[in-house]
Structure 1
Amino acid sequence: MSNVRVYSRFSDFDIDLFKAGKHFRLYEKLGSHPMTVDGEEGTYFAVWAPSAKTVSVVGDFNFWIEGDHRLNVRWDGSGIWEGFIPGVSAGTIYKYKIQSSNNNAKLEKADPFARRAEHPPKTASVVYEADYKWKDKKWMKSRISKNALDAPYSVYEVHLSSWRKTGEENRSLSYTEMADDLVNYVKDMQFTHVEFMPIMEYPYDPSWGYQLTGYFAPTSRFGYPEEFKLLIDKFHQAGIGVILDWVPSHFPEDPHGLGNFDGSHLYEHPDPRKGWHPDWKSHIFNYGRNEVRAFLISNALFWLDQYHIDGLRVDAVASMLYLDYSREEGEWEPNEFGGNQNLDAVSFFKELNISVYDNYPDVQTIAEESTNYAGVSKPVFDGGLGFGMKWMMGWMHDTLEYFKKDSAFRKFHQQDITFSLTYAFTENFMLPLSHDEVVYGKKSLLDRMPGTEWQRFANLRLMFGYMFTHPGAKLIFQGGEFAQSKEWNFQQSLDWHLLEYEFHTGIQNCIRDLNKLYKNYPALYEKQFDHSGFEWLEWNDSENSVLTYMRKGEKPKETLVVICNFTPVPRENYRIGVPSEIFKSNKQLSEIFNSNASNYGGSGDYISDVITVSNTSWNGRENSIEVNLAPLAVMVFALK
């Protein structure tokens, strides 16, 4: 008598959808599911392995003996093996023992759809039963306004292992501990969203989570899945959205993972020119295979559905879009039209975004895409890829390059700091100062800044002020908000002791207030992706290295004037022409932010109270204002 009962959770319609690549709730069918069948408790298992000769479930419950619990292959050619095993309950550790029809090779694999995994370095899957009761109804009901493109969107990027470690044990905080410490911190710092670097199970710590093996399981390093749900729930109760890094671009070749899953190129593309990533030494998904597309889109929807995630930041989009990415001539094959675009990946992104927004119109997908590929954040119906936002990598590179220059030479590079505005509204851009910019010898943000100690901190405050007043959403990696002085080390905690020093506390105060400024003044967010929300007042004063611009919202009276002085030279009675249509009837402006304020570590000089608009014409405008410019500072003025 078989130890596995014939049982299925699949209907014929499910199978048709799966074969067509249109089943986007596969996590409800494949994987392990505790349940009761004919009054008997046990677990239903289902796995896709079309090249398998036999598939057995092995684990603690059968002493890892192959053959005792063999699954049954479906008759419909789907390649799905399934069955119900009585007596197997939640918490059971297991793998699939697969004998391939290719050379009878035997493979021991973790479950691709497992909801929980063993703590690394162990690699088995764990039968999981969800029993979490959510308390974020208020957030879920209102988050469409929090995630909107015309709402403030300021993201704190976090690597959970290294954000903060306990003092004596030097261990990372658990999900439960972070539900207090991290949530309170992000709320205090006034960020609107938090973004986690990949939390899906991964075997290798130095990969920072970007080499995934358990796509449906939050890493067990910090606790159980329900504890991760608690962390998300607490963020939501605090009014903060949660974004996950999501990695559909590649996966590692670990023997328990997706690679060569059933003895064939099941998940990866069989042609190494499309199926192997030379930079990351990892497999690339076969985006043209229907079942693989269904796997990936199901995974995206899984986190939005089961974990109430508010957005997905999609990693390494450029590597997927281009067949010649990181490949020399002769190492790639053009598409059917002779071009270098991966047409299967393009199609996949469109279907992914359509599926996400059809099911969850109140979330955002964000592309990490570093090229000038057109229409990344345009709707699919308008010829785009359908992402909600795209990282503005050009702004990041140009800004960091500009700020590392000695202020005496910045007048020769004025165009570098203004260039981003020539294309700022071609996409819905997010300005990223991410983890990638503070590793591998690039130095910390603070360490890139030139000059004396005071000037370095002033430059950093100035850069952040310029960032928060520049059109687009914002992202800052952990540590940047208090001027971490060393490069990020994934094995160590952030240097929280730096907050004992006034300059570092000043940067933290500055970021907190910039987040408040961003959230409280609609001109900074209502039209952050629209050219009508920005206007230059003076962009070519390269001799003084000064920029002046307006940020505009729906109401003219909410217009802001932003002045950036990129040198340590204060400039008194600096005159700026302003448009009469806004300022003729609004004769006074008040300063609402100055990065030179003493509580930010600035000198406290050149802080203005009220500025009067005069009838003196300047630079072709009928009206003008005179301002005393603080050194290495950004100043923001609102109509009084």
Structure 2
Amino acid sequence: MAKTTKAKTQSEEEKAVTKAPAKKRVSKKTTEEAPVVETSIVVDQTPAAPPVELKNVEAFTRFSGFDISLFKSGKHFRLFEKLGSHTTEYQGVAGTYFAVWAPSAKSVSVIGNFNYWNKDSHHLFVRWDESGIWEGFIPHIGKGEAYKYCIEAHDGRKLEKIDPYAHYFETPPKTASIVWDNWYEWTDSDWMATRKSKNSLSSPMSVYEVHIGSWRRKGDEEKLSYIELADQLVSYVKEMAFTHIEFMPVMEHPYEPSWGYQVLGYFAPSSRFGTPQDFMYLVEQCHKNDIGVILDWVPSHFPGDAHGLYEYDGSHLFEHPDMRKGYHPDWKSYIFNYGRNEVRSFLISNAIYWLERFHADGLRVDAVASMLYLDYSRNHGEWEPNIFGGNHHLEAISLFRELNEILYAEFPDVQTIAEESTSFTGVSRPVYTGGLGFGQKWMMGWMNDTLKYFEKDPMYRKYHQDQLTFSTVYAFTENFMLPLSHDEVVYGKESLVGKMPGDEWQRFANLRLLFTYMFTHPGTKLLFMGGEFGQTSEWNFSKSLEWWLLDHGYHQGVQSLVRELNLLYRNEHAMFDKQFAPEGFEWIDSSDRNNSVVVYARKGDSHKEQLIIVLNLTPIPHNNYRIGVPMQGVWQEILNSDDTKFGGSGKTNPEPIFAEEVSWQGKAYSIPLNLPPLGGLVLKVK
């Protein structure tokens, strides 16, 4: 359980077990510690360092026999405590312990500035237990030292590779790993103790999706650091009343145009913006301001850079050896071998690492659909059916189930969220019912249908009303999150406001109407940065958002509306108590196609917790438009997207409206309303 307020690099008992380098062990044992061998070895030194004699070399290791057994069976889920580089002390000498998995290697050495990148001076030794792990202790190397592993492959190639478990890297385009720790004195205990109430399925979750490198910049080029974001981004998100920030992948990646989705350093936040501790500070400041943090996580593929995971030890170590399962044709990248035990341990350990050491409140898992199907983006003959003759990737499905069972057992107060675009059954249903075990799933169908509807000229919308209402047919088959993500504002798709039809006033009115519909629809919400103030250009990862647009009234109005919608969502129990249950939603009228008007109710746990939402999806206003209401009383308009403070025309219902005993739309009571052009309004009974 992640209940501590401190994240430390290693425990006291771990500090007591380190090892000096040797070439090889010969014992056939597989589950016991190597016996103590009375010997002494003079370890290779930095040229400037005096020689050091280390004794009883064979007795020191970070791995127990149980560790190795777990690793080989795919059940070691804290490999970051064992593999990688760890500063420590051995026989009174400070240095660094290195351990790397390379079972097909003929030899492994550590290279870096400390030995002038000499491939032959600091060899690691292979363990005797057939685990394929090479390890060793090198004195006089400490935090901040750049290094790589020189791996001699079975065919004689000498490969210079990163440390897959490194906590920190040189800033790209440099590629070396850096000896580092992830110790941090956390001060977010109040959030950690109460976050279950902030992350539960019956709590509001309004997510602001952020690409760190382009949210805001200093001038045209200089990116904000993690420390600067902890001030500027956190204060902005708090002001806008979002409940969570989702960071597009912060893990180290070599290619910026990948937006972070081509990950190489799975255990390291990108050094482009600061140190791991700087990123921890950013997370901590989010928590201190009552903001949760969700991290994009990419277990679906990795790039083929020569210094990375591909052919790590000269063999297909991390990727599947059959390129029908091991190569992704869309992204020209490589797919993990989900059936290999050590790879499963790597991935699950990585997920735990971010939740435990960085206090993340959730993981949004990227490209789940690409993992679930063997024929994803493949033509006939380019894929091999599973043992049952189907197209489901059974090993990936098994991985997801195990992952979610473990994460929710250890971190019951977080969320895992699947970006899954197909009709695969039970993505957000428990494993014991046959589901994948995710907490939530992106509602891609809602996003596609809704944007296609809003792109249409309002005069033709009456012919497409089913496109708007169809989502409620399946809205409660999963725990859905409604996304308007980065994918919808790139590659010629235009910005959100750019998709809207009509003149400038109508485009912004349509955008406000879209947001009103989104925030009042069942499910949690996600909005990509820039959408909240109506950025007019497509998102460009290499530039800052167009903050200067907020000098103009329409953009200010959209931003103000999003803030009000966030507050409405957070404060009205009808909006979230039953956001994943059919009892929380009711159509009052979805049949007025000629006027393109829809009316629906949102319901909370209490009978009195009800809201009525009315959307007029054309620019034609309506006076005295009658709607049915579920109860007698005085109804008050609590939000209207056409309010002048949002940039609208001001056609509102400012006075309380008494329900009349006039049967309408299947209700015993009804009220007359003034419906604004391209406007949405929310009503509440007193």
Which one of 13, 18, 25 corresponds to residue 66 of structure 2? 13
Range that drifts further, 599-608 or 30-39:
599-608
Q: 2:624 aligned with 1:578, yes or no?
A: no
DSSP 3-state at the match of 2:589? strand
Match of 2:96? 43
- Aligned pairs for 1:191-270 within 5 A: 191-270=242-321
Match of 1:462? 513
- Aligned pairs for 1:317-466 within 5 A: 317-466=368-517
Q: 2:192 aligned with 1:152, yes or no?
A: no
The Cα of 1:287 is off from its aligned counterpart by 0.2
Match of 2:638? 592
Match of 2:51? none
DSSP 3-state at the match of 2:185? coil
Q: Could you tell me whether the CA contact under 8 Å between 2:651 and 2:674 is conserved in 1?
A: no
Q: Could you tell me whether the CA contact under 8 Å between 1:3 and 1:68 is conserved in 2?
A: no
Instruction: Give structure 2 stretches of 5+ with no counterpart.
Output: 1-40, 45-56
* In 2: Cα distance, 1:194 partner to 1:620 partner: 41
- Aligned pairs for 1:72-151 within 5 A: 72-101=125-154, 103-151=155-203
* In 2: Cα distance, 1:602 partner to 1:57 partner: 65
DSSP 3-state at the match of 2:487? helix
The Cα of 1:2 is off from its aligned counterpart by 4.8
Q: Percent identity?
A: 62
* In 2: Cα distance, 1:609 partner to 1:113 partner: 62
DSSP 3-state at the match of 2:106? strand
Match of 1:484? 535
* In 2: Cα distance, 1:477 partner to 1:3 partner: 53
Normalising by structure 1, what TM-score?
Answer: 0.98
Instruction: Give structure 1 stretches of 5+ with no counterpart.
Output: none
Structure of larger gyration radius: 2
Per-residue Cα deviation, 1:268-318 (whole angstroms, up to 9, x for no partner): 000000000000000000000000000000000000010000000000000
Q: Could you tell me whether the CA contact under 8 Å between 2:651 and 2:675 is conserved in 1?
A: no
Match of 2:43? 3
* In 2: Cα distance, 1:476 partner to 1:552 partner: 23
Amino acid at match of 1:130: N
DSSP 3-state at the match of 2:580? coil
Q: 2:673 aligned with 1:621, yes or no?
A: no
Q: 2:598 aligned with 1:547, yes or no?
A: yes
Q: 2:677 aligned with 1:631, yes or no?
A: yes
* In 2: Cα distance, 1:609 partner to 1:225 partner: 54
Amino acid at match of 2:418: A
The Cα of 1:220 is off from its aligned counterpart by 0.3
The Cα of 1:163 is off from its aligned counterpart by 0.4
Distance 1:620 1:607, change over 3 A: closer
Match of 2:617? 566
Aligned length: 633
Match of 2:37? none
The Cα of 1:625 is off from its aligned counterpart by 1.4
Range that drifts further, 212-221 or 3-12:
3-12
Amino acid at match of 1:176: I
The Cα of 1:604 is off from its aligned counterpart by 1.3
* In 2: Cα distance, 1:130 partner to 1:440 partner: 37
Per-residue Cα deviation, 1:423-445 (whole angstroms, up to 9, x for no partner): 00000000000000000000000
Q: Could you tell me whether the CA contact under 8 Å between 1:608 and 1:628 is conserved in 2?
A: no
The Cα of 1:37 is off from its aligned counterpart by 1.7
Per-residue Cα deviation, 1:323-379 (whole angstroms, up to 9, x for no partner): 000000000011000100000000000001011101100000000000000000001
DSSP 3-state at the match of 2:464? helix
* In 2: Cα distance, 1:636 partner to 1:525 partner: 15
Match of 1:190? 241
Range that drifts further, 624-633 or 436-445:
624-633
Per-residue Cα deviation, 1:3-24 (whole angstroms, up to 9, x for no partner): 2755310000000000000000
Q: How large is the RMSD of aligned CA atoms in angstroms?
A: 0.9
The Cα of 1:606 is off from its aligned counterpart by 2.5
Q: Could you tell me whether the CA contact under 8 Å between 1:461 and 1:633 is conserved in 2?
A: yes
Amino acid at match of 2:158: K
Normalising by structure 2, what TM-score?
Answer: 0.92
Amino acid at match of 1:621: K
* In 2: Cα distance, 1:552 partner to 1:622 partner: 18
Amino acid at match of 2:208: Y
Q: Could you tell me whether the CA contact under 8 Å between 1:597 and 1:607 is conserved in 2?
A: no
The runs of at least 4 consecutive aligned structure 1 residues that moved more than 2 Å come to 1-7, 606-609
* In 2: Cα distance, 1:3 partner to 1:614 partner: 91
Amino acid at match of 1:305: E
